[in-house]
Amino acid sequence: MMFRSRPFIALLIACIGIASVLAYRSFGPEPAHTPLPGIQAENPGGFLSRLSLIPSAWRKRSLVSVIIENHERARPYHQGLEDALMIFEMPVEGFITRFNVLYDLKKLPKLIGPVRSLRPYFLDAFLPWGPPQIHAGGSPEAFARVQEIGIVFAVNGLAHDKEFMRDDGIAAPHNLFIDDKGLESLLTNATAKTLRWPPYHVGAAPSGSGALKISINLLNITNNISYAYDFFTQSYERTNGFTVSRAQPKNVLLLEIPVTNIGSFGRLEISVTGEGKALLFRSGTVQHGRWKKRSTDQWFTFEDKHGQPLVFAQGLTWITAQPTLERVKWEDSL
């Protein structure tokens, strides 16, 4: 009996060894890569990925973006941030920040908002993608920029009472929302902008100094931002003023982009073309680098101090642009 069972045991050990090798090859760290907009990766995940057993690192996304308010009175009512592909945060009047939030049109949250008004540099930041842009009003410069670009399908929520809704329990103007069905209805005649996602290098975290706690001093306790790294989820918990966000990014990218002028009604003029300092926080570490955007016909590139691409984690990226990074601090302990 013992002798007859030995071949079976040997076969079992061999199968376990083969399975271990396949598991290591399939689930081990993915090499860093640079996806190019509009080009589908060929076989990015290998043999098992072709069998749909392992999610591909690259996916085609149909994009739409929504301007979301970040006034202190609006923050407790944020809806849909946790479902974003990317959040691009920039200052507006009074240097309070506002978000242009990028979604996959096929994976919309049930409710998005509070929706707020458009500024021209939010459009420029997402060029050359030019996804359909959802907003509620805007500055004269923003409307002029829409006409000038000519490729952005912009929807002003103030003219679409049927698709948008107001919550009477929230003080205006921070109470305008749109649900997934309303958004899909508005985009019936829009041309979907398809992008291979993510649009930057993704891979294992490089070695770097620890950064478990991040603070961004906006000179106002109600607007200051902090992040705390969560080892369990490998993401960052964001606190803005006194509000903790449900969105927990895997990457926190800070860009130094100057304000070139303050115009009428305190509206800011910001150019997103050029280059400047960048800080990428991911996996509890910080990478120093630079951002570059040669023109609105090109998407941003992010490089480390050696000129090599910054390496991001897979998942939500929260980008915050500020006139200076001098007020950004971090600690290697929580």
**pLDDT beyond 50 at 179:** yes
**pLDDT beyond 60 at 38:** no
Average confidence score pLDDT of the chain: 86
**pLDDT beyond 80 at 290:** yes
**pLDDT beyond 90 at 36:** no
| Residue 42: per-residue pLDDT | 30
| DSSP assignments along 38-94, one per residue | T-PPSSTTHHHHHTTSS--S-EEEEEEEEEE---TTTGGG-BSGGG-SEEEEEE-GG
- Helix, strand and coil in the chain, % to nearest 5: 20, 35, 45
| Residue 35: per-residue pLDDT | 37
110, 177 Cβ separation under 8 angstroms = no
Q: Which residue would you say has higher pLDDT here, 42 or 164?
A: 164
Question: What's the pLDDT band for 189 if we cut at 50, 70, 90?
Answer: confident
**pLDDT beyond 80 at 191:** no
Residue percentage of the chain with pLDDT more than 90: 76
145, 313 Cβ separation under 8 angstroms = no
Question: What's the pLDDT band for 333 if we cut at 50, 70, 90?
Answer: confident
**pLDDT beyond 50 at 54:** no
Neighbours of 318 (CB within 10 A): 25
80, 118 Cβ separation under 8 angstroms = no
Which candidate, 35, 34, 122, places its Cα nearest to that of 70? Answer: 122
CA distance 77 to 290: 34
Among 15-19, 20-24, 43-47, 182-186, name the most confident range. Answer: 182-186
CA distances in angstroms from 63 to 39, 148, 243, listed in the order given: 15, 21, 28
Residue positions counted in the chain: 334
| Domains of the chain and CATH, by start | 59-197 (3.50.90.10), 213-331 (3.50.90.10)
Phi-psi group of 28: left, alpha or beta (phi > 0 → left; psi -120 to 50 → alpha; rest → beta): beta
* Contacts for 123 with CB less than 8 Å, ≥ 6 apart: 130, 133, 142, 145, 146, 149, 152
Residues facing residue 303 across a β-bridge:
290, 309
- pLDDT tens readout for residues 141-169: 999 999 999 989 999 999 999 999 999 99
**pLDDT beyond 90 at 96:** yes
| Residue 24: per-residue pLDDT | 35
**pLDDT beyond 50 at 133:** yes
**pLDDT beyond 50 at 28:** no
**pLDDT beyond 50 at 49:** no
Mean pLDDT of 5-28: 42
**pLDDT beyond 50 at 125:** yes
- pLDDT tens readout for residues 299-317: 999 999 999 999 999 999 9
Q: Which long-range CB contacts under 8 A does 186-191 form with residues at least 24 apart? A: 186/134, 186/155, 186/160, 187/64, 187/105, 187/132, 187/153, 187/155, 189/153, 190/64, 190/132, 190/153, 191/153
Three-point CA angle 219, 93, 265, nearest 5°: 135
Amino acid letter, 42: E
Mean pLDDT of 30-51: 32
Q: Which residue would you say has higher pLDDT here, 122 or 22?
A: 122
Mean pLDDT of 204-230: 94
Mean pLDDT of 126-130: 95
Phi-psi group of 283: left, alpha or beta (phi > 0 → left; psi -120 to 50 → alpha; rest → beta): left
Residues facing residue 156 across a β-bridge:
135
- pLDDT tens readout for residues 58-87: 789 999 999 999 999 999 999 999 999 999
70, 77 Cβ separation under 8 angstroms = no
Question: What's the pLDDT band for 57 if we cut at 50, 70, 90?
Answer: low
Q: Which residue would you say has higher pLDDT here, 29 or 271?
A: 271
